[in-house]
Amino acid sequence: MKILVTGGAGFIGSAVVRHIIANTADEVVNVDKLTYAGNLESLASVADDPRYRFEQVDIVDRAALADVFFRHRPDAVMHLAAESHVDRSIDGPAAFIETNIIGTYTLLEVARAYWNELGDSGRERFRFHHVSSDEVYGDLDGQKGLFSEQTPYAPSSPYSASKASSDHLVRAWQRTYGLPTLMTNCSNNYGPYHFPEKLVPLMILNALEGKPLPVYGKGEQVRDWLYVEDHARALYTVLTHGEIAETYNIGGHNEKRNIDVVHAICELVDEMRPASYGLTRPASSLITFVADRPGHDLRYAIDAGKIERELGWAPEETFESGLRKTVAWYLDNLDWCRRVQDGSYRGERLGARA
């Protein structure tokens, strides 16, 4: 197949691109606007592969997007382009409405027009896979219960509301126009190449530098954690084997309180940090509790039984094994981290060719 991946320079998107190029014979067209979260250095390992192409295009730009479809003739779309940081959505929701709702609408319309012009075999083969979040479900009451594919939507933040809106658009385009769509909703991802403002990389890098480790409230919020490479495998599995019009929840079976995640990171940093850092006190001494986020959901937990039963996918990493790999990756790739932190990564456009 030739797969058009939107947001392929982001954290999850780049993992998907790397997975496809490394493990399949498929071609990838990476369509990314390259906002602050898009980093082509995360794709350096595939940038020179003849099966990879990059197009710097904003998904709200209908004409540019239609041109990409016309020139590359994809067999499938994996839609991961999104504004995704909850704090940023609270401070400035407009970008989330623009990208997550208007951008998804534009992509659906371009994909629909393209699909309608394909021959019978092309129409039968085409797939549009929309990648979403468990945050569209709101939060769970108490310590029991799981999000299923039938859980009603109850988004709490501008980010999750915009993702819920995009999910509804995708379902409507399938129901009304027959566009062959699939959808996935995943739990919290972590792993290599994660933008340093997110919880896991922020704690790793701050601990290495002896900076405060800010934790919202008392850190009692519970999340299900999924290693990003497990997620990439799941997404490709859904694209290639999922049933049209179906939704699949993807989770890691790793419910953890935020404070416990931070303590686990601290222990690994203490164990793995080179002696040259010269920090003598334990990293956990840097934990600092800060005012909680407005509307902060308390607990998310995913029932991933459907994708496991029907498609045979299951996570390979436990939280402990995945977190150890993640901390080790950041220790081995501090130059990548520093280039993100100082902004210099935005000065290069690796693999940018049509």
3-state secondary structure of 210: coil
Torsion of CA 12, 17, 18, 21, to 10 degrees: 160
DSSP-assigned beta bridge partners for residue 54: 30
Average pLDDT over all residues of the chain: 93
Sign of the dihedral through C-alpha 206, 211, 213, 214? negative
| 127 backbone dihedrals φ, ψ, rounded to 5° | -140, 145
Buried b (16+ CB within 10 A) or exposed e, 74-84: bebbbbbbbbb
| Closest to 302 in 3D by CA, of 225, 238, 231 | 225
Choosing from 52, 159, 236, 345, which is the catalytic residue? 159
Q: pLDDT class for 353, splitting at 50, 70, 90?
A: very low
**Contact (CB, 8 A) for 167 and 153:** yes
The Cα–Cα gap between 84 and 159 comes to 6
Q: Is 345 a catalytic residue?
A: no
Kindly report which listed range (128-137, 216-225, 277-286, 288-297) carries the lowest average pLDDT score.
277-286
Mean pLDDT of the region 160-182: 98
Q: Could you report the per-residue pLDDT of 20-63, keeping only the tens digit for each?
A: 999 999 999 999 999 988 999 999 999 999 999 999 999 999 99
Choosing from 27, 41, 134, 167, which is the catalytic residue? 134
3-state secondary structure of 127: strand
**Contact (CB, 8 A) for 75 and 126:** yes
What pLDDT sits at residue 137?
A: 95
What pLDDT sits at residue 348?
A: 47
What pLDDT sits at residue 85?
A: 81
Q: Is 134 a catalytic residue?
A: yes
Choosing from 27, 135, 224, 317, which is the catalytic residue? 135
What pLDDT sits at residue 349?
A: 44
What pLDDT sits at residue 350?
A: 40
Mean pLDDT of the region 140-154: 89
What pLDDT sits at residue 172?
A: 98
| 76 backbone dihedrals φ, ψ, rounded to 5° | -160, 155
142 pLDDT above the threshold of 90 = no
Domain ranges of the chain: 2-191+227-253+296-317
Q: pLDDT class for 352, splitting at 50, 70, 90?
A: very low
Say which residue, 180 or 85, is predicted with more confidence. Answer: 180
| Closest to 322 in 3D by CA, of 10, 1, 15 | 15
Q: Could you report the per-residue pLDDT of 324-348, keeping only the tens digit for each?
A: 999 999 999 999 999 998 888 886 4
* Angle at which helices 319-332 and 334-341 cross, to 10°: 80
pTM: 0.93
The alpha carbons of the chain give a radius of gyration, in whole angstroms, of 20
Mean pLDDT of the region 164-175: 98
**What fold does the segment set 2-191+227-253+296-317 form as a domain?**
Rossmann fold (3.40.50)
What pLDDT sits at residue 273?
A: 87
Q: Is 159 a catalytic residue?
A: yes
